[in-house]
């Protein structure tokens, strides 16, 4: 039975989530429609630009993404601490970049008008600031701001109305670093598995291509959550960038050959530290979306997750035990 969205997202359990949106129409989100011959490839740019732009407004970071022909994958990290550090004016200015707000919130953003507001009006603004602050850390509002924008643009281009996406996005909670990194690899290697690209650097409209372009300049891409290597750091991803890129290269080669291959020496420490053997890693990075339901991680993480308190049976526990050991 499907679970309500409020039960699928719990920041007490994890700030990391894998979200998938699928297009409902035959005319594709991107790529070429084989029936009409019309290309929608330019829409990939719409999705990528909108996705990265939203990180400047929301307190939500993008860890990985891939824009495919009829669906998108994103791995998100909610930075609730960042939102708590914003003052009222910062919250309202961010909200107004995407939504109109109310007459009072618009007046509050003008210094001369703000000073003339009554105490009752200021109290109303405070309540709205609290509401908007929560929404700016809300994955549903983030995905709404992404998907509604793309749907409107696509409908306008197609000269039609109606549903563009299948429905609400699918969400998977990533409960530990093993789940986060294997899901990121699954997302970044989507074009290679679909035979749309031969190498990660040729995988257009993916986070791994953006990271490689920045790495060639000795940098990390500003719109994406950075790698660090400190497993205890909540501010950055739990490994070094070069380790992750080595892991992607190894995994991609193994997938393309259809064999497990041999793990390079530079990658082995990371897999050993995460206690995942190479066979399990390859299975996760090829079929992560289908190995778990709305929760993903080690068995101990699933059992510890507050979202399972009311469940008689924890879905995905057998795969967690088999794949994560």
What is the rounded distance in angstroms from the CA atom of residue 191 to the CA atom of residue 205?
A: 9
Q: Which of 288, 311, 1 is nearest to 324 (CA)?
A: 288
Q: Going by C-beta distance under 8 Å and a sequence separation of 6 or more, which residues neighbour residue 161?
A: 155
What pLDDT, in 10s, does the model give residues 56-74? 999 999 999 999 988 899 9
Intervals of the chain under pLDDT 50? 1, 231, 256-271, 273-274
pLDDT at 296: 72
Does the structural domain 12-79+138-305 have CATH classification 3.30.70.1290?
yes
pLDDT at 255: 61
Number of other residues whose CB lies within 10 A of the CB of residue 195: 8
What pLDDT, in 10s, does the model give residues 229-238? 554 556 788 7
Distances (CA, A) of 73 to 20, 191, 306: 5, 11, 25
pLDDT at 216: 74
Q: Going by C-beta distance under 8 Å and a sequence separation of 6 or more, which residues neighbour residue 220?
A: 211, 214, 226, 227, 241
Q: Give me Rg for the CA atoms of the chain.
A: 21
Query: Are the C-beta atoms of 65 and 73 separated by less than 8 Å?
Result: yes
Query: Are the C-beta atoms of 4 and 161 separated by less than 8 Å?
Result: no
pLDDT at 104: 95
pLDDT at 95: 97
The token duo for 288 is: 């992560």
Cα(first)–Cα(last) distance of the chain, in Å? 27
Alpha helix locations (H) across the chain? 5-8, 43-54, 80-84, 88-96, 103-108, 111-114, 119-135, 139-158, 177-188, 190-193, 207-215, 241-257, 268-274, 278-291, 299-304, 317-324
With 0.85 as the threshold, say if the pTM is over it.
no
pLDDT at 264: 33
Sketch the domain layout of the chain as residue ranges: 12-79+138-305, 84-135
């Amino acid at each position: 039975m499907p679970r309500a969205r409020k039960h699928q997202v719990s920041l007490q359990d994890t700030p990391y989530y894998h979200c998938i949106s699928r297009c409902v129409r035959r005319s594709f989100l991107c790529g070429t429609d084989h029936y009409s011959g019309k290309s929608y490839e330019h829409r990939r740019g719409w999705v990528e630009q909108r996705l990265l732009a939203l990180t400047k407004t929301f307190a939500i970071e993008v860890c990985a993404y891939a824009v495919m022909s009829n669906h998108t994958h994103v791995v998100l990290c909610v930075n609730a601490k960042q939102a708590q550090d914003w003052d009222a004016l910062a919250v309202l200015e961010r909200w107004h970049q995407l939504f109109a707000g109310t007459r009072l919130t618009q007046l509050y953003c003008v210094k001369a008008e703000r000073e003339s507001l009554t105490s009752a009006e200021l109290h109303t603004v405070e309540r709205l600031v609290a509401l908007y602050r929560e929404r700016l850390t809300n994955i549903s509002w983030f995905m709404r701001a992404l998907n509604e924008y793309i749907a409107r643009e696509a409908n306008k281009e197609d000269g039609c109305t109606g549903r563009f996406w299948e429905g609400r996005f699918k969400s998977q909670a990533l409960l530990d670093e093993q789940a986060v990194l294997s899901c990121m690899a699954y997302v970044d290697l989507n074009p290679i598995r679909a035979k749309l690209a031969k190498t990660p650097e040729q995988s257009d409209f993916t986070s791994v291509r953006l990271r490689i372009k920045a790495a060639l300049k000795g940098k990390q891409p500003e719109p994406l959550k950075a790698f660090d290597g400190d497993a205890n750091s909540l501010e950055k991803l739990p490994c070094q960038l070069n380790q992750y890129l080595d892991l992607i290269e190894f995994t991609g080669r193994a997938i393309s050959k259809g064999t497990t291959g041999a793990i390079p020496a530079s990658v082995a420490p990371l897999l050993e530290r995460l206690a995942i053997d190479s066979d399990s890693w390859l299975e996760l990075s090829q079929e992560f979306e289908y190995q778990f339901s709305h929760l993903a991680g080690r068995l101990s993480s699933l059992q510890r997750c507050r979202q399972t308190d009311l469940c008689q049976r924890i879905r995905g526990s057998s795969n967690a035990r088999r794949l994560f050991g």
